[in-house]
Structure 1
Amino acid sequence: MKYPCIITCLLCFLCSVFSTEVEAWQTDENIIFGVHSKTAPLEWRNNGVDQGFHLELMSRIGQMTGKRIIVRRKTFQQLLADVNDDTSSIDVIAVVSPVTIDRQLSQSDPIYATHAKAYTLQGKEFIHGWHDLAGKRVAIKKGAFVDVYITGQPQGFVRVDVDLYETGFMQLIAGEVDIVLAENFVARRLMPHYPSIRSSSDPLIYGAFNFVSNSKNARLMAEINDALRQLKLSGEYDRLVNKWFGTGREKVDLSNTQQRLLWAATLVSIISALGMLLTGYISHSLKKRTHALNLELAQRKRAEHQISRLSQQFQSVLDGIPHGVTLFNRDCVSLWSNDNNNELLSSSDFHFINGDIFQLNKTLIQVLDSQTSLIADMAYRTQFWQLQIHPIGNDQAVILLEEATEQHNLRQANDEASRLASLGELSAGIAHEINNPTGIIIHAIAFFNHALKDLQQATDAYGKQNPFWLIAGLEPQLAMTELNQSSLTVEEGAKRISHIVKDLKRYALPKVTTEHQLLDLNEVVKVSQRLTANQTKIFRLNIQLNEPAPMIMGDAQQLHQVLINLIQNACHASKPATGDDSDCDTITIETNISGNRGCLTIRDTGAGMDSTTLQRITEPFFTTRRSCGGSGLGLSVCSRIIKEHMAEMQFSSRLGQGTKIKIQFLSVPDSIKALKLSSLEQDT
């Protein structure tokens, strides 16, 4: 009696399906559904059959609205063009829209949520937010919801447009981009094919799938929304979601799986039928055994699912940590690692910040024997790291590596700022205390010079009356010559002190906004060259001025001071001509335009500087010419003037090969904008 019932049910089911198909084909109205994705479980083709969540949902909506669904597959860019074209045959497509931004086209209620994240190569740093994208090359799929989201917003990264997310992944492997911002479902499909790529951020953009159509189909979109809401209210939408997304994995080959399950079910049914025909006892035993096995299998699946979920969560957390984490045993064997920067531990360039050699084996044994954690600052080439070794029991220890280059540089900058601030305050006090007595000396020595001129005649007359008269044990004429020379020496020394005091006062003064004007950089060079002509005449001077002349915003007098100081330093470092011009050093001054920025370069072929001197040349009071009267304030004042002009001064030098100083000024529009911002900050 059971078999006729089963056959009857199958016939009824086939009839209902057939009648439904007939009704669909007899419908006068069609909905052309544009499909582009190859991403399971949304929409893809398997063995020539279109399937997926979007396709089944749209098919069900077509049944409810009495319309026939016709699938058309095109590229993503073609579908975007069609849906914006009122004359196109495409009626509806499924796309992702950011949750905070609506597309201009007519779109349905949200269908299913998704998100986009950053993807990088294995071992690269974790992306904590949009600020970590600054300065990086980021691949964006043209027209995708990531493109829609960032369009019109400020971007601190270099955008690289691609036609497909897969193109972005290939460019990432080739080193043409640093990061790919990709939609979750597509990235999950692609990552098994690109094992060197990993997910490197939490969701940066949240979006939702929507059905989208152009304005001519507003009535059609209203019908789709009504059908979609009915499906949600009836619970059929939840059934579809559970069918396509319930397992939490992509369904790449669902048709083959269904076929295998169908064959397996058929085989089981045949075996069961034979068993039922052979003996009821065997049937009863099989049922009991099957029930027990099903219970055990269900329990194992639940346990495996929980273990797998916890393992994936734990692994994703460890992989997401940008710092190196490694577990070692006493024999220095790595038991586990997240493979982030752990190659430093075996590098000979990795050492303690005080210069002591780092030996992993020795340090690890010391920590385990003492059972005391070690936290130390380390250096690796130009980077700085923090090393932490924590014992776990007597035989294992965990090593944590965290890059601390930025923190180290900030500490150094803070120490430098504090030291310079102290020097500034000290300079102001010294300048004030020295200035008054220096002025008195200069005033007095001027009086002595006039007095000596007047006393010369009296000395001559008295010397004739008294031939044996001496001044300080010297003959009158010799004594007057010595007095004149001493007076000139004192005056020159006092003026030197006054000049140093002026430099100190300028260095110690707070920043004062100067009225910058439009300047010809070539004219600044010509004026400075004329003022230093007496010093440069004994050298080979090469002046190369760009035409048209670079135009900058600045203060001409201050820039003359900077260039004169740099020319004088080049003269001090160069060898003058001794008779043959080929035997002297060359000083080159040139201007040029790089991009839209004016550049000034001063080069000499003189003595050059070592790296230690090069790092300190802009420090106040640092000089290599102390014995020759250098005060060490010239370049520090120049550096301050250049900073006030919002320009950059770059030094490069090698011993015996000369020195090059390059100054880059902002373009005129950027300079004006920066001056306005600086003025606004001071007013505030």
Structure 2
Amino acid sequence: MCSTAVEAWQTDENIIFGVHSKTAPLEWRNNGVDMGFHLELMSRIGQMTDKRIVVRRKTFQQLLADVHDDTSPIDVIAVVSPVTIDRQLSQSDPIYATHAKAYTLQGKEFIHGWHDLAGKRVAIKKGAFVDVYITGQAQEFIRVDVDLYETGFQQLISGDVDIVLAENFVARRLMPHYPSIRSSSAPLIYGAFNFVSNHKNAQLMAEINDALRQLKLSGEYDRLVNKWFGTGREKVDLSNAQQRMFWLAILISIISALGMLLTGYISRSLHKRTQALNLELAQRKRAEQQISSLSQQFQSVLDGIPHGVTLLNRQCERLWSNDNNNELLTSTEFHFMHGDTFNLNSSLVTVLESQKSLIADMIYRDQFWQLQLHPIGNDQAVILLEEATERHNLRQANDEASRLASLGELSAGIAHEINNPTGIIIHSIAFFNHALKDLQQAADAYQKQNPFWLIAGLDPNRAMTELQVSSLTIEEGAKRISRIVNDLKRYALPTVTTEHQLLNLNEVVKVSLRLTANQTKIFRLITQLNEPAPMIMGDAQQLHQVLINLIQNACHACKPATGDDADSDTISIETSTSADGVSLTIRDTGTGMDSATLQRITEPFFTTRRSGGGSGLGLSVCSRIIKEHMTEMQFSSRLGQGTSIKIQFLSVSDSIKALKLPSLEQDT
């Protein structure tokens, strides 16, 4: 056919009808044949306009793009339009009414109107009539665009959205596949199905409207509506294979029934002949029943095995299988532990030729498996597949525990060695502090004699101040090293008691910030310390350790501030008092954590920064210290939105009662 003839075939004699649904009753396919209300209605219109209807299946988004494209071969599509809003296209008279309403998970509150959607995440199908209706209107809800209503249902189940606004016919089809979803509102939007075309086909749409009106006047339109939307006329898509299996099952049942009748007739005939043959037949039947029973029991045992069992011949044909995890054998993602992909054919030939079993550890995605391939004679082999993920994880955990146990023994020795030089530093720096006080007077006197005298390039007064601050910083750091070493020892001996004292919580925060100043200086840091300063009962050094660890974790989760970048992450520390006691809150706007990570963050040795040197002990130790202070640490976090950690301390009087400490009046 020449190009001119093809063009004429496409434009003059045919109507290219674009459809996207494959499910009854509007547009669907049964055994490869296109059917449905829209298709039959359009076919009848084609007969009345002397045009041939050609069906083209595409996605909904492709059809929307085609109908807006003057060069597209698609002439007409069927879509839903809100009854109050016309699409900016050439469209037919209304074909059939429908509506859209809200769908939620079972147990969620009923949606009484648009106001109940405020603040909720609502899934909207892009380009659908719900999208057309709300476009340009004020929206108090959070809109989440999806490509299909089914995508919205899946996101509703996974918790990514709260509500799905879906068209009635599609939702009715999807809900049997998603039993946890229910209809939760009366109709929110009313719409009507229309045939829609590009403005270039305005004449074609006029012909379609004339034909549609004639069908309504003649009553044929009502017949089509009753056929496809009448009560009890839900359509079911049966494949040829299913039908063949159904008739094959009936045929096998008939043959089995005939066989049973024939067996009964032969048995009665033999019984009439001789007593001896009857006895022999009875004995044979009993033996067959025992063998059959044993075979069924053996088959039940094999079918009940959770691991995959498959019997193959040399040609790699499956002779028998319990159908457990056999898809792994032919998957390209199923490979040996060392990385080579598993090839069933070559492995089977190797085992049969060598008559030696193959036992190997395998990996499939994030799972670990053990593969066993054993020869049975020269032409058959059996494959056993067993998931070993838990066993692999336990082995890794055991290896990790062994390494950590060795590390603990090593740490005890290192701690002892660290304590010695730390003690020397503390002792020496104390001497420096006393010496600086005495030298201050000498420095003042010498400066009067020599006004231009400098110490390390600085004014003497400033230099002496810097020396005192540096001396105190060294002493404080050495004491912290000593305390951390002792805490490391105490982690293995949690029964060691700690003396709690009256503390200024604001001072604890300030000391911790000084010790982490080198890390926090590149971040936007906000402190809001309550005045008057909240007082608590506790161990200052241990609370320093907790707060320093939380500040360091916040730094790891945030990106550094750059100039006046308003979008950079922020770390804030706040102290406050209330009727329930005293609280300390550390917030950051960093990467945040998912729910699975949030549940495990206080587990010993659990860390998301293993490759970056994290040991997973920081928050575990912090959790233990907080529990020793008879208080609690509350976590809240969301991915991409940051993390908030609130430590709620008891009041001083409640702490004294809970920790069984002497009262402050008695101490006084």
- TM > 0.5: no
TM-score normalized by the length of structure 1: 0.41
